[in-house]
Amino acid sequence: MSEKKRGQLLVISGFSGAGKGTVVSKLLSLHPDRYRISISATTRSPRDGEQDGIHYFFVSTEKFEQMIRQGELLEHARYVDHYYGTPRRFVEDSLDAGYDVILEIEQQGAFQVKKAMPQAMLIFISPPSAGELERRLRGRGTESEEQIRSRLARACEEAEYIDRYDYFVLNDTVDRCAAEIENLVEAERCKVCHNRAEADRLREDLRVYRKEER
Ligand code: 5GP
């Protein structure tokens, strides 16, 4: 009998306004039984409509620092004056159960995850152009002029680190971008390094088969 294969860990990052959230929602809606999204802990306050335990675990700075000390976070980073981090237990348990786990996190955290778990797939989601990024940021209608400028400035800084990702996926349309990520996950699943147990079983099967043939 084959035991359930460990799931893939997908780390998805991209500039603010690149449309990561929409792409991740699309993946989840297409395959709710396959993907699980990790819910991060953060010290920032909830925005309108955000719920504790659904969008984030909203915690105090003291609690967050305790989580760091106790090794409860797979990665953590400071972003615009607040802590953000990924609870380790949920990720490990979901991967063990065979789910593909999605982390939608910023760059510092993405690189920490890659260091801790080299098999993680680091996926960078890109807007088609700088002009389109600005258009999307303005279209959200949630940022002031100053915030839009600072997000574009940050995008310039973050673009310097794209080469450290494993995959670069263009988000021109949500459907195409989600389909491309799915293809990447399928290809990753077929890598020999993720199929060692199956290869061992095949070798053993062949040995037994040859003995029976004689
Ligand atoms: P926001 O405050 O807009 O929800 O998120 C700000 C940034 O923090 C986004 O780039 C988001 O992807 C990132 N982020 C959310 N959760 C985590 C996390 O657990 N770890 C890290 N490193 N970044 C996170």
Q: Concatenated DSSP letters for 101-123?
A: EEEE--HHHHHHHHHH-TTSEEE
* Separation CA 79–CA 140 (nearest Å): 20
Report how far ligand 1's centroid is from the alpha carbon of 105 (Å). 5
Q: Whose CA is closest to 12, among 31, 25, 1?
A: 25
The DSSP code for 50 is -
- Name the residue with the closest Cα to ligand 1, atom 22: 109
- pLDDT score of 51: 96
Q: Which residues contact 54 (CB under 8 A, 6 or more apart)?
A: 39
Residue 1 pLDDT level (bands cut at 50, 70, 90)? very low
What is the arithmetic mean of pLDDT over 152-168? 94
Query: For the chain, what percent of residues have pLDDT higher than 70?
Result: 99
Residue 165 pLDDT level (bands cut at 50, 70, 90)? very high
φ and ψ at residue 85, rounded to 5 degrees: -160, 160
Report how far ligand 1's centroid is from the alpha carbon of 214 (Å). 61
State the CB neighbour count (10 A cutoff) for residue 175.
Answer: 11
pLDDT tens digit sequence for 26-64: 999 999 999 999 999 999 999 889 999 999 999 999 999
Indicate the helix (H) or strand (E) that contains 169.
strand 167-170
Q: Whose CA is closest to 78, among 88, 92, 64, 62?
A: 64
What is the arithmetic mean of pLDDT over 151-164? 93
- Atom index in ligand 1 nearest the CA of residue 80 equals 6
pLDDT tens digit sequence for 59-109: 999 999 999 999 999 999 998 789 999 999 999 999 999 999 999 999 999
Q: Please, are residues 189 and 183 in contact by the beta-carbon 8 Å criterion?
A: no
Residue 141 pLDDT level (bands cut at 50, 70, 90)? confident
pLDDT above 70: residue 2? no
* Separation CA 12–CA 95 (nearest Å): 16
- Which residue matches tokens 């699309």? 26
Summary mean pLDDT of the chain: 93
Ligand 1 within 6 A of CB of 106? yes
pLDDT tens digit sequence for 114-135: 999 999 999 999 999 999 999 9
State the CB neighbour count (10 A cutoff) for residue 10.
Answer: 23
| Helix residue ranges, H only, the chain | 20-30, 61-69, 88-96, 107-116, 130-140, 145-159, 174-189, 196-213
What is the arithmetic mean of pLDDT over 185-205? 93
- pLDDT score of 3: 62
- Atom index in ligand 1 nearest the CA of residue 104 equals 12
